Structure 1
Amino acid sequence: MKIKLKGRKAIVTGSTAGIGRATAEGLARAGASVVINGRKRERIDEAVRQMRQSFPQSDISGIVADLSTAEGANAFIAQAPDADILVNNVGTAFIRDYKSVEDIANIPDEDWLGLFQLNVMSGVRLTRHYLPRMVAKGWGRVVFVSSESAVNIPKEMLDYGMTKTAQLAVSRGFAEAVAGTGVTVNAVLPGPTRSEILGDFMEKQAEANGITQAEAEQGFLKTMRPTTLLQRFATTDEVANMIIYVCSAQASATSGAALRVDGGVVRFVA
């Protein structure tokens, strides 16, 4: 199967590194024009430079915007008012070492609300702008990058898990709203992935314990994700491959789905 997206404009939020960057590169490789996003001008400029060098046949541009705020989302939309593909990837997590129930109970409001604004409302704000335009054209793809933590809530990232579950509700609701229009809305659920956030955390854990990063990752899996069937961290490209497929014409019969790329961490058949 060869995915061809020439003539399509794709937006990938939070895409200067990690899963977002791998997704943006995959869409560019398929021929789409791609808008990447981040909060720092220097990171955007460097990512655009590298991608233009790697994919000279594709139109690559970047927009600096903090999508955790309504103002940031509006500023982004003003610079990119139209799109055929929207990948709501931007997000973050606080990885904590809980010792007791009191630690969980004392997660402050600002952490809950801050994660909700970035991980959930960024996608809501952009989707409610681009989705009607996709419907008017009779074609479009919206993808929310959720997590296996949406259905396998981790105590060490309880507030993060809450936002990822919310993304599933939002993506399914939007999919219901555009039924029969030629526009699809889906969610992709990665498992432990060697992305920037988790990769940096594992690197620090390795340094602190005098072990290699690979050993730290194996320790994390055995302790936190013992049900993994992959028995290793996924690469960002492995996750991006699923996202890119869902953005393609070949995925026209897939909508309202929560597609797992979790390495078998979640122990149910669905």
Structure 2
Amino acid sequence: MNIDLTGKVALVTASTGGIGLAIAKGLAQSGAQVILNGRSEASTHKAKETLASRVPGARLHTAIADLSSASGVDALLSYAADVDILVNNAGIYGPQDFYATDDETWEKYWQTNVMSGVRLARALLPGMVKKGWGRVVFISSESALNIPADMIHYGVTKTAQLSLARGLAKFVAGSGVTVNSVLPGPTLSDGFAAMMKDEMEKTGKSLETLGKEFVMANRPSSVIQRAATVEEVANMVVYVCSTQASATSGASLRVDGGVVDDIV
């Protein structure tokens, strides 16, 4: 399958590392012009340099903005007022006891994980509908379906993204614009690598080995019995953004390695 996104402009939020950077790379390799987003000039510039070296000739732009507030989204939109592809990858996560999770924490997660996507979709969808073509993708999580007891606040926001994406798909039905969710499972992301840094140094084990051990200990229902790579998640996202995926909309597409024990 030859995915050609030449002439398309893609915005990938939180794309300075991990899954976001892998998605940006995949879109750039497919010919899209990509807007990279990060919260600091240093991280965003480094991501641009990294992609430029990996994808020669890539057309890359940077947009510095923190999407945890309405003003941050407005700042991002000043860089990207008209795009063909929007990948809502920005999100925060972290374990916390439910009793100790106060209103401020709930609001922080809601604003970053849910409202950033609401605000960007509200601003950018009209242009896509007018052109008769567009792609919106929410990067959710298997935690949207398999709510973790130690991260209920996070799981709730990921479930909300599925509802948001499905509702938006119906809202723009018949317009040529598709809206979908992609649900990664345990992934060898930068965040996972940081979490496992001390363990790697202590045991000498590779990140892949520790990823497999984590999956078997914490997600034993996994069918692939290992953590996914960021590239494997990005492959699904790039396909969903392609012209070939024109009949896929309102879907929740799992890249969880079969962790969620469900046949639908």
Instruction: Please say whether Structure 1 and Structure 2 have the same fold, judged by a TM-score greater than 0.5.
Output: yes
Q: Aligned pair in 2 of structure 1 residues 95, 50: CA closer, same or farther (>3 Å)?
A: same
Larger deviation, residues 55-64 vs 24-33 = 55-64
Q: Which residue of 2 aligns with 1:108?
A: 102
SS of the aligned residue for 1:194 comes to coil
**In structure 2, C-alpha distance between the alignment counterparts of 1:38 and 1:248, rounded to whole Å:** 24
Structure 1: runs of 5 or more not aligned: 97-102
**In structure 2, C-alpha distance between the alignment counterparts of 1:154 and 1:30, rounded to whole Å:** 35
Q: Which residue of 2 aligns with 1:81?
A: 81
Q: CA deviation at 1:49?
A: 1.6
Contact 2:188 2:211 in 1 (8 A): no
Q: How many percent of aligned residue pairs carry the same amino acid? A: 52
After TM superposition, the structure 1 = structure 2 runs for residues 1-270 of structure 1, keeping only pairs within 5 Å, are: 1-96=1-96, 103-207=97-201, 210=203, 212=205, 213-270=207-264
Q: Aligned pair in 2 of structure 1 residues 157, 211: CA closer, same or farther (>3 Å)?
A: farther
**In structure 1, C-alpha distance between the alignment counterparts of 2:135 and 2:119, rounded to whole Å:** 16
**In structure 1, C-alpha distance between the alignment counterparts of 2:122 and 2:57, rounded to whole Å:** 30
**In structure 2, C-alpha distance between the alignment counterparts of 1:136 and 1:261, rounded to whole Å:** 31
**In structure 2, C-alpha distance between the alignment counterparts of 1:62 and 1:3, rounded to whole Å:** 24
TM-score (norm 2): 0.95
Q: CA deviation at 1:18?
A: 0.6
Paired residues in the alignment total 263
Larger deviation, residues 35-44 vs 154-163 = 154-163
**In structure 2, C-alpha distance between the alignment counterparts of 1:68 and 1:5, rounded to whole Å:** 29
Contact 1:31 1:57 in 2 (8 A): no
Contact 2:6 2:31 in 1 (8 A): yes
SS of the aligned residue for 2:92 comes to coil
Query: 2:54 is aligned with what amino acid?
Result: S
| Structure 1 outlier segments of 4+, above 4 Å | none
Contact 2:98 2:151 in 1 (8 A): no
Contact 2:208 2:227 in 1 (8 A): no
SS of the aligned residue for 1:61 comes to strand
**In structure 2, C-alpha distance between the alignment counterparts of 1:252 and 1:8, rounded to whole Å:** 15
TM-score (norm 1): 0.93
Query: 1:12 is aligned with what amino acid?
Result: V
